[in-house]
Amino acid sequence: MLNFRCPAELLDAIDALGQERYPSETAKHGCDRTKTLLDIVRAGIEALSDGSVVLRVSDNNVRHSKTENTIDIEARFAAIEERLGKLRA
């Protein structure tokens, strides 16, 4: 599963392409979004791989929550395992 935020205009463009390529009368958006997005991702990877498209480096920093920076991953796994143990008991 892939979740991401995007502007409504981008979703409209994805749906328009999907309605041309993978129309569906039963789907909520009139198309198979999964197949449409897979096509878009594949085409993007191909274009990046063959050098026909080059992404510019973003100068935006990725935001992390304070808890992500202070809690180490092993402690997170231990907490998850503890919760799972309680659920199984």
Supply the pTM of this predicted model: 0.58
pLDDT tens digits, 9-38 = 999 999 999 999 999 999 999 999 999 999
pLDDT at 56 over 60: yes
- 71 pLDDT band, cuts 50/70/90, is low
Mapped to the 3 state alphabet, what secondary structure does the chain carry? CCCCCCCHHHHHHHHHHHHHHCECCCCCCCECHHHHHHHHHHHHHHHHHHCCCCCCCCCCCCCCCHHHHHCCHHHHHHHHHHHHHHHHC
Percent of the chain whose pLDDT exceeds 70: 84
